[in-house]
């Protein structure tokens, strides 16, 4: 089936014209990256490797932070049905001779996604609902893992992403104990933000304290689910996972690039939740992971209906972060290829990207956050320095605020606890359960 067919199968044909083929979008300008000395780049890589601690971290592609961090992320999702270690290992083994080749990464993960999807189809034909659901969910995660690191995007990558969304939605109906509902959050200009509303299957229509969960720079609502959402549900929360502008379907199929004023998306999410009878409108919270560590406090600063806020990883001045990365010719610890920043912002060159990032700062905004606030950060985060985390926490205006630093000794010391996702999400989920009093009936 071609891309148009996948969009029609998902009910997204109206967004077909918004697909961005931008092959020539990523020509880096002379002022941006050209002229970076090779010796400077090598020094930057060595610095990142030293901070990463190759002897202590799972670095299956030594010297390649992006790929190694991505593999750690996939492995962690196995806890919540996103991967199988044997399947991940087969992909890694196939990629070892081609480390750093973006198209090879995309092809290998797509091939595994297709293989596992065939397992799902066979199980479905045999009437084995539980096996079908589990395989469709893993296949979706594999397709998105491959697509996530590909730049520039292509018609093939768009088709793979659409297939992943379709597979995920095929799988959600039989996930044990959980109700996962694909929903649309009304936004601006007649557009909607795609989302999933997740809660305990046993909750019925009882109004639940609810968390709005924002993506970061480079992940999606489907990938977000596999990063511990079931742990939140175990503690009595419902979760609305949203593809805001610049992420997931919003950027790929609906022509919505990233923007600094994520408080607009936050308010849209709250307005939507207030229409649901299974949501306790007086116990709402917002959380974001990675770049979402900026998005969430921005939303909480301007939306008083949020009663708690979590930054899963600190972002203080995102313009300064990317200015440094550009000056190092992208020879830094990046979760995705450097060109990704232009794509998500909807611009054609790095200068325009930096100009748009001027608004992605929390100075003067963090002070407006009055609800209880949690910031988690890894002691050896190779992407965002500890001084940024300290600056953010110091600026937060809330009286009830918590700064949890995960140390090397205890684990969770990587970016967004990528080395030990379990203790990261457990700490966050427990904090939210306490602040939103999930044991109390509405």
pLDDT digits 0-9 by tens, 116-139 = 999 999 999 999 999 999 999 999
- Strands 373-378 vs 306-312: parallel, antiparallel or unpaired: parallel
Query: Percent of the chain scored above 70 by pLDDT?
Result: 87
pLDDT digits (tens, 9 = 90+) for 160-169: 999 999 999 9
pLDDT, residue 55, reads 56
SS3 16: helix
- Fold designation for 56-175: de novo design (two linked rop proteins) (1.20.1440)
Average pLDDT (136-159) is 97
In the predicted model, is pLDDT for residue 26 greater than 60? no
Q: In terms of CATH architecture, what is 177-442?
A: 3-Layer(aba) Sandwich (3.40)
Model's pTM, two decimal places?
0.89
SS3 145: helix
Average pLDDT (283-302) is 98
For residue 152, say if its preceding peptide bond is cis, omega within 30 degrees of 0.
yes
In the predicted model, is pLDDT for residue 47 greater than 80? no
SS3 180: strand
In the predicted model, is pLDDT for residue 347 greater than 70? yes
Query: Residue 45 in contact with residue 390, Cβ under 8 Å?
Result: no
**Average pLDDT value over all residues in the chain:** 90
Comparing 8-17, 130-139, 282-291, the range with the smallest average pLDDT is 8-17
Average pLDDT (51-72) is 82
Reading across the β-sheet that carries 373-378, which strands appear in turn? 178-186, 192-200, 238-242, 208-214, 279-289, 306-312, 373-378, 401-406
Long-range contact pairs involving 155-160 (C-beta distance under 8 Å, separation at least 24): 155/3, 155/19, 155/21, 157/106, 158/3, 158/19, 158/252, 158/253, 159/1, 159/2, 159/3, 159/6, 160/106, 160/110, 160/113
Where do the domains of the chain lie?
56-175, 177-442
| CA gap 40, 328 in Å, rounded | 7
Average pLDDT (204-210) is 97
Comparing 50-59, 328-337, 399-408, the range with the smallest average pLDDT is 50-59
In the predicted model, is pLDDT for residue 53 greater than 90? no
- Band (pLDDT 50/70/90 cuts) for residue 439 is confident
In the predicted model, is pLDDT for residue 435 greater than 50? yes
- Band (pLDDT 50/70/90 cuts) for residue 56 is low
């Amino acid at each position: 089936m071609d891309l148009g067919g996948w969009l029609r199968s998902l009910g997204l044909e109206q967004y077909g014209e918004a697909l961005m083929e931008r092959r020539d979008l990523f020509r880096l300008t002379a002022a941006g990256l050209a002229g970076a000395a090779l010796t400077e780049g090598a020094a930057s890589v060595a610095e990142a490797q030293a901070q990463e601690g190759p002897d202590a971290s799972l670095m299956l592609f030594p010297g390649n932070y992006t790929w190694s961090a991505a593999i750690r992320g996939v492995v962690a999702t196995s806890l919540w049905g996103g991967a199988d270690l044997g399947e991940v290992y087969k992909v890694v083994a196939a990629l070892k001779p081609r480390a750093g080749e973006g198209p090879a990464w995309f092809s290998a993960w797509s091939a595994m996604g297709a293989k596992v999807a065939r397992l799902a189809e066979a199980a479905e034909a045999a009437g084995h609902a539980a096996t079908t659901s589990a395989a469709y969910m893993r296949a979706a995660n594999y397709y998105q893992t491959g697509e996530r690191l590909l730049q520039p995007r292509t018609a093939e990558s768009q088709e793979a992403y659409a297939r992943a969304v379709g597979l995920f939605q095929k799988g959600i109906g039989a996930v044990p104990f959980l109700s996962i509902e694909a929903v649309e959050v009304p936004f601006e200009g007649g557009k909607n933000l795609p989302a999933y509303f997740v809660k305990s299957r046993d909750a019925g229509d009882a109004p639940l304290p609810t968390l709005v969960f924002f993506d970061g720079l480079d992940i999606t609502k489907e990938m977000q689910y596999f990063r511990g959402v079931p742990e939140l549900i175990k503690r009595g929360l419902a979760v609305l996972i949203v593809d805001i502008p610049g992420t997931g379907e919003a950027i790929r199929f609906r022509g919505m690039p990233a923007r600094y004023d994520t408080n607009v998306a936050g308010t849209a999410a709250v307005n939507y939740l207030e229409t649901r009878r299974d949501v306790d409108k007086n116990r709402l919270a917002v959380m974001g992971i990675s770049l979402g560590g900026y998005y969430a406090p921005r939303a909480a600063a301007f939306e008083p209906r949020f009663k708690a806020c979590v930054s899963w990883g600190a972002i203080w001045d995102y313009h300064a972060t990317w200015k440094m990365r550009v000056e190092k010719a992208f020879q830094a610890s990046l979760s995705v290829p450097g060109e990704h920043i232009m794509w998500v912002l909807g611009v054609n060159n790095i200068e325009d990207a930096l100009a748009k990032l001027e608004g992605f700062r929390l100075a003067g905004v963090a002070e407006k956050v009055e609800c209880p606030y949690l910031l988690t950060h890894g002691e050896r985060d190779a992407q965002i320095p500890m001084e940024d985390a300290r600056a953010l926490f110091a600026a937060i205006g809330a009286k009830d605020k918590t700064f949890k630093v995960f140390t090397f000794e205890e684990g969770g010391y990587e970016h967004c606890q990528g080395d030990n996702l379990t203790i990261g999400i457990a700490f966050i989920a427990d904090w939210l359960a306490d602040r939103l009093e999930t044991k109390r009936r509405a």
